[in-house]
Chain A
Amino acid sequence: MRDHEKRLDEIMRRALASDERPDEELNRLILRQWKERTDMKRNMTKRIYATAVACAALLVTVSAGAAVRYLTMDEIAGEVDADGSIAAAFSDGDAIWIDEKQETGDYLVTLLGIAPGEALTEQGVDNVSNGGMYIVVAIENADGTPMADASEYGEKEMSFFVSPLVQGLRPWEYNAVYFSGSFSQFTEQGVAYRVVECDNILAFADRELYVCATDTTFYDNEAYHYDEATGVITRNEEYRGMNALFSLPVDPSLADPQAAAAYLERLEEEKHAETSDAADESVGDVKALMEEIREKMENGREDEALDEMQALEDETKTVQKADGRYEYEFMDGIWYFYEDDVKDGQSIQFAYTDYDEELARFTGLDMLILTENGDGTAEVKAYHKNLAE
């Protein structure tokens, strides 16, 4: 930067410096909105429960020596179930009560039960998936101290990932996130309850079905091993942290290979659609094109790379290297080619141009190719590609 540029830089820095901060009340308002939003998803109402249980079946009885009584399904549903669908699913004959505990990391995890959500289909609520299913898990601190309340600032301590997994389906690609999963969570009398709702995966019942639970926000590859040959998923015993893995005792006769195949097909379509949307929204497709051109240039296929680009003959210039870089004036800006970026006497730069607000994407791509002459100078050629065509 030249001296006058440095001075201007300093003046601009000072002229635009601002100590103004958002008003504290405005930040509090934003955080309140966060709370309201999450409260809609998670009912965190705390209630004191009477010892006597009115009507529902107790999901899990107290294990020997433990002083914990888990909530009944009705009580859990009372906390998180706005429309009665969870209670309906668990009162159905197809619900599976499991009551299996695993101590892992600093936690004691209990898989209370699972229930297919056929009631949803009957009520016509679920018009997208295959009826849905619910998984209910209780999580306690292994040392017996109460779990933090999922109140105001307690969510950090409540960061768990609970998901069904299927033998033969890569767990990092096929988990609750992709099975249209959502969850409700609350803490009661020191026990955290997590109710996961997701697509019904019982169509895969001829394979091993699992429920995993980690103290991470998303699926953690480190927590489990996946055998590519057999599709079997196992816990990583070396993992430091919670990594429970339960096998579901489901009746293989519930399997429906045709429905399972159709479901997988739908998941693939959705994944593809998401990828396409993302590409449209961002510059992903332009980036791919840039990489393709760069790859061709670097592999001696220059003619092929330049074939579909328009050469901007008037922009060809010879530039001089100074302070370890070449400066090239192009359109309304200065472009810098740093000597460290020059490989085999050549350097390429790209720029997205012509942002179309209606299309919300760039519709042009500029490419500048610098070729060193070996005497401290270089020739820069400019090319343009219209992406709107």
Chain B
Amino acid sequence: MTRREFAELIERDGGAVYAFCRQMTGSRDEADDLYQETMLKAMECHERIDDELGNPKSFLMGIAAKTWKSRKRMYARRQRIAPKEYVDDEGIFWELADGAPSPEEAYISRELCRLVRMEIAELKEKYRIPVYLYYSAGLSIEEIAVSLHLPKGTVKSRLHTARTLIGKRMEEHGYERS
């Protein structure tokens, strides 16, 4: 892989990798570190991207997930010092309601997103990682399976379990199923 191809890879898939790093770490600074470390590791084995992998995005995500796992204690330590910051909800809640939302609807939607993110952050790692890969980074189930070296069935099952768990917790927060 040439530098130009690597630049194109960053341009094409960097956003998805960054979205995953952002969710995993919860802060922009930490995300920058994880993202940079991921890309530098990818650089070290860039021949493999050319040679044996039809899906560089899955490869990058696999590196990101593995890097995060190996560094999570460090990130957790930093986390205690600087609590998580979330992406601004502007632009999200307006889309959640049908038509122009009332201020109350907007508030509910915004609060719903905040709670969902909070609960997802509390999920066990084995559910949380596929959830972020699926919903934040936009990977397909097949791509997640490749990234995490898991059978597709396991990925489907984990996503399903994650949704079930989040659904239950949202009910505990007073949100109804339908």
Contact residues in A for B39 (Cβ distance below 8 Å)? 30
Q: CB-nearest residue of chain B relative to A156? A: B2
CA distance A158 to B150 in the complex (A): 37
CA distance A22 to B37 in the complex (A): 13
User: Are B131 and A33 within 8 A (Cβ)?
Assistant: no
Task: Check: B158 CB closer than 8 A to any chain A CB.
Answer: yes
Mask: chain A, 30-41; 1 = CB below 8 Å from B; 0 = not: 110111011000
User: Are A16 and B132 within 8 A (Cβ)?
Assistant: yes
Task: Check: B113 CB closer than 8 A to any chain A CB.
Answer: yes
Task: Check: A349 CB closer than 8 A to any chain B CB.
Answer: yes
Task: Check: A13 CB closer than 8 A to any chain B CB.
Answer: yes
> 13 more A-B contacts (CB under 8 A) besides A22-B10, A158-B2, A352-B150?
A4-B177, A17-B135, A19-B91, A21-B18, A26-B35, A26-B36, A27-B11, A31-B7, A37-B43, A152-B3, A334-B157, A336-B157, A357-B69
- CB-defined A-B contacts under 8 Å, sample of 21: A5-B167, A11-B113, A12-B116, A12-B120, A12-B131, A14-B92, A14-B96, A14-B113, A15-B135, A16-B132, A18-B19, A19-B91, A22-B15, A22-B32, A22-B35, A26-B35, A34-B6, A152-B3, A153-B2, A156-B5, A334-B161
The 10 A-B pairs with the shortest beta carbon distances in the complex, nearest first, are A333-B157, A155-B2, A16-B135, A15-B113, A4-B177, A15-B116, A156-B2, A22-B18, A16-B136, A333-B161
Which positions in A face B, CB cutoff 8 Å?
Answer: 3-5, 7-9, 11-23, 26-27, 29-31, 33-35, 37-38, 152-153, 155-156, 158-159, 217-218, 282-283, 332-336, 349-352, 357
Which positions in B face A, CB cutoff 8 Å?
Answer: 2-7, 10-11, 14-15, 17-19, 22-23, 28, 32, 35-36, 39-40, 43, 47, 50-51, 69, 87, 91-92, 95-96, 112-114, 116-117, 120, 131-132, 135-136, 149-151, 153-154, 156-158, 160-161, 163-164, 166-167, 170, 177-178
